[in-house]
Structure 1
């Protein structure tokens, strides 16, 4: 039987990708491991199921397993395939597929796991992923219904909560705080809502029905987007790192050039492109250092990297099973258990200088060094140079045959700040939150000291960086005092201090260090029984 509804609210807008976006579909391209979702017309799109899952997940972070959420979105399936309640019902929220506006040129990103034993690419952990570029625009269309008198109808207080949740959700979308699709903590999926419109259709009055029949839908003010109290209650810590390269810095692109062999990775920004340091690359470097710290203070976790097992894929997954690291950076899925998303998200970092697609194409297709130099000058890439490298024959001491290659190395390029977002909701309990923040601060300390190079060729003089400043911003309700004390703290690093330990002046700015240090020590002590048992 059809359900009776009092009103319908239609939300429309445009989602603009603030970072590249990937929502996977059926793999119909043998040359790409992870392809994009394509609709029946052959166009790229974001399925409504993906959008609905992200929107519902945002609300559940605030309200948990609230009956209001279950009533609004429909009961989830239970362990045996049935609903968690005696009777299920369709969702009151209809999220339509989001089509991509205009023509977009997809990009390809490489992904690789690093073997903790050898420090090189892990066997069978290599893949590529198709992405929609930054600046892609998607059509958002959501319909929210309010059910009339029935056992499923929400009372006025519950409906008021629903309105607050939607107001907070839409505001979060406007502020770019929500991510869609895959690899959300590795630089992908950040979207921002623009041109939002909310229309209402009233069914419980003659005037409302007549207006609907005339094709009229009035603007609705049911969602107060300015009073985003619930959005501000989401606990988190944002870290902004202002930095500059000290040596050539790049991530190697999959495609090779003609006059030059290895090209730096670029990514689209609207109709322009710029050098990019993917969030996955930054996160991998920070995770490696975090693992090094944990394995140093807790030798019990060294067993996975001490020897190289025969089953390489299984061995790699075992190598990265380190407590606290998995909470911060995520855990890969296996046949025995599901994976989990980490609490730390890192966005892609772009160079400030943008060039046209045509200018970069001329750099890629230059056949001679003179053509390459002219293409670089036309693109105003004055700080980018061609460098030649060669392997030395161990017998003759001369250049090894067929081992001469060249790279296009960005020198002195200005980059945007690196942005880290720690979702404290994913760290259960105050103790784990303080321990996670303590480990993050240790990693940032090593970043300041120049121990964490970024990008390609870090063992060959590339990727060294200098930190100018690190700023913290804490948000949300019921934060531990030690984390709240980090709010609005900025650590400015002088050039002569970048290679030394944090000074007493820096440490004094973080009044919560003692509490975080105690939490870190408590976590280390909690691992001692495991060490003894092993």
Structure 2
């Protein structure tokens, strides 16, 4: 049997922000709070200090998606044994047939800086800052400030995957193997070339459905990639220039090897994506607007000139009443990039309200078992969330089933500078040095808020999954009433939400579909409609609950004498 080598090149583009971290740099917690600084979580760098997504990270994401699909479906023509054969097993002391190459980000992630001192330099990768909110006090949690380098939405990536199967001689003899895949005799059920080509077809199909995500922060909607759109596919006509190419070469001679090193169009092979089932995710689409405006402030970058800028701003403010306003966060580094409401911000608000609802029910039933969060930091609060909240939103030990995507403004509207000051609590006058301002876009138009629930990832029985859906439904109902603000400055009247429609597209049998719209001049009609839909769901009481518990709330508590914590 001869050696056959493949190279699959897929042109992708980011469908959301993307971050894939390297070795985290931790701030010394022994230093005083004034001396601590937020250290951005950076991309991995190669030997030339270029940011990359490592081949190992790409491999993990692709293999996880493929294994999950093959485990639940048989229409790809592959089995888990086939994947084990191609992936390679440590116990067999052999490498896999496929090699995943690193993705270079240096050309897509860096932004040009204005020439300085007659030299053109580049800024570090752009970063986004986030915080975790203390559930008890409602303020930013201590030690809960974080930054991530990221690649913005719409950037192009090139993924290369190579594969090699077969041996030069001594078929079945491990010493004669090429070092990638074992010979065909060790996998007689299927031709290894067929397995590789079917796997490539499955990988392309999974990318086409956006079912492979890279890097971290996936629960906040990050890391999504899709196939790059071609001119023919974008216009609705059959695509002739597909965003992938497959080169296949048999290395049976010296000329074959030379042809591999200098490939031509003659070596290109046809590759049709596998016809696979839909993802089965539950997609919740919320049509909304904000009558007061949304503000998630952008954090100024801490470059070499940051201290000089702060000093200059302070001197300017002393001389006049002018201030440098806080700017809203945008989806990219450009001033014309659209405003964005981060998925992490919306997800945090939803989790906080879900936690409040669940703990209110528990406190009413078992007040003596509830722990106070007054003296707990935000990390302990998250770990102590009730069971259904952890099912939906996850913990440090496992990922939750709910993903919230970034919400981008369809139109920024007109921004205006709003100036504030703080009053001196002793004199009643204006506090010195407490003048500040913000750029507010209170007439911006926003795209829909999109949530995705992987119901199959919810643990436990179908009734427990329905209970988690009921809890999420209650949170969405409160959002519809306008009592759950989004973004910052909620205590100053900003962040109000007016929901006009909620649609639930479901691919899961236990989650019903919805298509609800608010009635005119009745903002609470939509919430009542959601509650009516939730009451239709039949949920048997949890067998682990104490007497007196019924319906969805029975899955919040367990039969135990210990204080209620998490599963």
Query: CA offsets, 1:512-532, max 9 Å, x none?
Result: 852355579545224455476
Q: What's the offset of the Cα at 1:346?
A: 1.2
Question: Which of 10, 16, 19 is the equivalent residue of 1:19?
Answer: 16
Q: What's the offset of the Cα at 1:94?
A: 0.6
Is 2:380 aligned against 1:315? yes
TM-score scaled to structure 1, two decimals?
0.79
Q: Show the counterpart of 1:470.
A: 502
Q: Is the 1:435–1:516 contact (alpha carbons within 8 Å) kept by the matching residues of 2?
A: no
Distance 1:112 1:31 in 2: 11
Q: What's the offset of the Cα at 1:492?
A: 1.5
TM-score scaled to structure 2, two decimals?
0.75
Q: Is the 2:467–2:555 contact (alpha carbons within 8 Å) kept by the matching residues of 1?
A: no
Q: Secondary structure at the match of 2:300?
A: strand
Q: 1:286 to 1:302 in 2, by over 3 A?
A: farther
Distance 1:454 1:160 in 2: 51
Q: Secondary structure at the match of 1:179?
A: coil
Query: CA offsets, 1:216-266, max 9 Å, x none?
Result: 453323x431x422x42x431111221111112110111299643322112
Is 2:523 aligned against 1:498? yes
Distance 1:519 1:218 in 2: 62
Q: 1:189 to 1:28 in 2, by over 3 A?
A: same
Q: 1:14 to 1:248 in 2, by over 3 A?
A: same
Is 2:409 aligned against 1:404? no
Q: 1:248 to 1:436 in 2, by over 3 A?
A: same
Q: Show the counterpart of 2:43.
A: 36
Q: Secondary structure at the match of 1:267?
A: coil
Q: Secondary structure at the match of 1:91?
A: coil
Is 2:272 aligned against 1:224? yes
Distance 2:146 2:370 in 1: 23
Q: Show the counterpart of 1:121.
A: 140
Distance 1:314 1:413 in 2: 34
In terms of fraction of residues, the more strand-rich structure is 1
Please list, as runs of the form range in 1=range in 2, the aligned pairs for 1:125-524 lying within 5 A after superposition.
Answer: 125-147=144-166, 149-153=183-187, 155-156=189-190, 163-194=197-228, 195-203=243-251, 212=260, 215-216=263-264, 218-221=267-270, 223-225=271-273, 227-229=274-276, 231-232=277-278, 234-255=279-300, 259-268=323-332, 272-299=336-363, 306-309=372-375, 312=377, 315-319=380-384, 321-332=385-396, 339-353=397-411, 383-428=414-459, 429-475=461-507, 479-480=508-509, 482-483=510-511, 485-486=512-513, 489-500=514-525, 502-503=527-528, 510=533, 514-515=536-537, 521-524=550-553
Q: Show the counterpart of 1:54.
A: 61
Q: Is the 2:401–2:454 contact (alpha carbons within 8 Å) kept by the matching residues of 1?
A: yes
C-alpha RMSD of the superposition: 3.3
Q: What's the offset of the Cα at 1:383?
A: 2.4
Distance 2:453 2:343 in 1: 14
Structure 2: which 5+ runs fail to align? 27-36, 72-78, 112-124, 168-182, 229-242, 302-308, 314-322, 543-549
Q: 1:396 to 1:471 in 2, by over 3 A?
A: same
Q: What's the offset of the Cα at 1:402?
A: 2.3
Distance 1:16 1:270 in 2: 18
Q: What's the offset of the Cα at 1:207?
A: 10
Question: Which of 63, 80, 84 is the equivalent residue of 1:66?
Answer: 80
Q: Is the 1:279–1:346 contact (alpha carbons within 8 Å) kept by the matching residues of 2?
A: yes
Query: CA offsets, 1:444-475, max 9 Å, x none?
Result: 11111112211011121010011121222223
Distance 1:132 1:164 in 2: 31
Q: Is the 2:134–2:378 contact (alpha carbons within 8 Å) kept by the matching residues of 1?
A: no
